[in-house]
Structure 1
């Protein structure tokens, strides 16, 4: 039996084990220690080089942890390469006192922390207590999936319900250190989550789709405001909460990938060195329009977004869904995030490989539709 259906409207939502969600300026200083599982916990930090060397954030957390801090690994790169993941895992394995892992950064450190926890569980039967402090808006902290890049350059991963972080801290002070282009583009990744959950066959009406509608609304409101004033912490906090709303309520129900925009993102991301926020800027609007034209059921779900992003419903689902796709493309332009695969250095000779990776097909109607979409990205 499916756990979600639109006709009849029925379903079952199964929540994750997330225990705490803190948000607001200085929330790390105020709440990090109370997120630890015990007073004697030992924590290991996973982060990237930029945060460790170009900001004071990591030193601040290390100092706050005091004797509870047992180490920091700051070499996690974009798309979480497996060599760095292996190195970090070996360090954590050597210290049996570590019961907590703290990820600070974007999707790569957060997913790497999950993957390390998964590997330790394979070894000793115990998952690490995970505290996520996101500095981007890609919402990796919301899921039980851990994606990383294998030796061939393709994205792979592991998944388990226990990999969902136990605590998430959204601190606008930390996001202030993120370059505005990166915060804006990862917010479009959150938009990608919200849009694709509307037509995902196993996403639940409550709370998943209802919060996806809210997330898109907040993103359309606050992204232009943040673009004009990137130091405004109120805007940043609104965007952080919208990011959580976009994916934080999938629960344990979602089966399979989110949708075509996401699979295209994986096909374009690590193989060609394109950040996932930028892949969403490239693909999402076009995917939404393709879905609007190819499926009445998908169009009906996408059309529900219209009034939440400032559009007027016409009662023509296809027309309204196409307008949603155009609104996304217009927002990408407004945010100065519009780009092409040509600008990203992807040869047109790669089109077949990209489409095959995304669709797992080498011919047929779906392949042809997606190929036309990808060719339009140059």
Structure 2
């Protein structure tokens, strides 16, 4: 028997506050950390919402302004604009309010404000575990309204508008120090967005489990995340308004999103994540939707490559797993994922989101580079195999 050994690197996340009404803790968390000039960062939709008033009121006298220019896939010009606004108001903290776009916009802006170079053209989050001694930090408090879970990682994506290729930045200092999970802030999140980002969380849990870097902590978190999502995601959308039952289901989904990604700086993403990083900006497809489309097909591919790593996934889905003959269970997990996604009104094929058939191979080379850098599959992946997955997803 092999000896168990490994390393688990924690992020700089200090506090997670969760539950109905926890928005009010924002002012306390800012004050505890000495912040006096907090800039709230969100998108245009939430920028016109009454929910923004709740966040502003909770920030109290520490609020220095509101930036509403965050947009999907984090175009680099929005980061430039946020950097300029943060400097203009003298921000000593930023509060991201919304989904993954404002959260990653804050990370990329913070990176530049700390002296980092803008616009990495690759997605390589290995630097998230590299310490930078004595360097400046920007306080980030995240208040998410979707299940993308970007708030729990020290890396953020950004898109080069000229090429529509997504890259990213990563550094331990980019981790939000505080995350406030208040389901009452999610009541205006469109059903398709809530459901599809829930599938993004499922994608995190699954790909963390069959990563070559998986370990007992990440496996345990992934199993629980899958179980919570399959139990609570559909009911969270079956009532309307701020009904107490709906909010309880929603906070359970928020906790599932947290568990799904909490160890991902250790495991890193797999093929589904790499595909999503490039499908999203190339054809303007939300990342949650890319997971709805690609995850079952990648799971079937991985069932042939590393079926033995599907144990935690099978446990989460309630599938019997035989470690001596794991392939059938691994394939059943892929089928369960596809059936679960099919319960929601979300796209499940590339053709459903307007991707031209003749163009799908355009991204394969960039995806292959990311897959090789991440090195999570445990086998050589070819360009032809990636194109086959894209064809199956079409």
- In structure 2, stretches of 5+ residues that fail to align are 117-133, 371-379
1:332/1:338 contact within 8 Å kept: no
Provide TM-score, normalisation by structure 2: 0.87
1:264/1:358 contact within 8 Å kept: yes
Work out whether 1:337 is the aligned partner of 2:330.
no
C-alpha spacing 1:8/1:319, structure 2 compared with 1 (3 Å) = farther
Shift in Å, 1:268: 0.6
Q: Could you tell me how far apart the structure 1 residues matched to 2:230 and 2:248 are?
A: 15
Q: Could you tell me how far apart the structure 2 residues matched to 1:130 and 1:209 are?
A: 28
Work out whether 1:105 is the aligned partner of 2:121.
no
Q: Could you tell me how far apart the structure 2 residues matched to 1:291 and 1:57 are?
A: 41
CA RMSD of aligned residues (A): 2.0
2:278/2:367 contact within 8 Å kept: yes
* Equivalent position to 1:223, from 209, 226, 233: 233
Aligned residue in 2 for 1:261: 272
Aligned residue in 2 for 1:360: 369
1:11/1:205 contact within 8 Å kept: no
2:297/2:393 contact within 8 Å kept: no
Shift in Å, 1:353: 0.9
* Equivalent position to 1:18, from 9, 13, 16: 13
Shift in Å, 1:125: 4.8
Structure 1 segment 1-378 matched on structure 2, within 5 A = 7-29=2-24, 31-36=25-30, 37-39=32-34, 41-53=36-48, 55-96=49-90, 98-122=91-115, 125-151=135-161, 152-206=163-217, 208-229=218-239, 231=241, 232-250=246-264, 253-254=266-267, 257-293=268-304, 295=305, 298-315=306-323, 316-360=325-369, 366-378=382-394
Aligned residue in 1 for 2:375: none
Residues 236-269 of structure 1 show CA distances to partners (whole Å, capped at 9, x for unaligned) of: 000000000001233x534xx5100000101210
Greater CA drift, 98-107 or 228-237 = 228-237
Aligned residue in 2 for 1:3: none
Q: Could you tell me how far apart the structure 2 residues matched to 1:221 and 1:354 are?
A: 35
Residues 71-104 of structure 1 show CA distances to partners (whole Å, capped at 9, x for unaligned) of: 11101111111111111111112343x2111000
Q: Could you tell me how far apart the structure 1 residues matched to 2:69 and 2:229 are?
A: 31
Residues 8-54 of structure 1 show CA distances to partners (whole Å, capped at 9, x for unaligned) of: 4321212111111000111011x11121144552200110100011x
Provide TM-score, normalisation by structure 1: 0.90
Q: Could you tell me how far apart the structure 2 residues matched to 1:282 and 1:18 are?
A: 31
1:197/1:258 contact within 8 Å kept: yes
Residues 106-139 of structure 1 show CA distances to partners (whole Å, capped at 9, x for unaligned) of: 0010011111111111179522111000000011
C-alpha spacing 1:40/1:134, structure 2 compared with 1 (3 Å) = closer
Q: Could you tell me how far apart the structure 2 residues matched to 1:365 and 1:32 are?
A: 45
2:100/2:150 contact within 8 Å kept: yes
Aligned residue in 1 for 2:119: none
Shift in Å, 1:228: 2.5
Q: How many residues align?
A: 361
Shift in Å, 1:370: 1.8
- In structure 1, stretches of 5+ residues that fail to align are 1-5
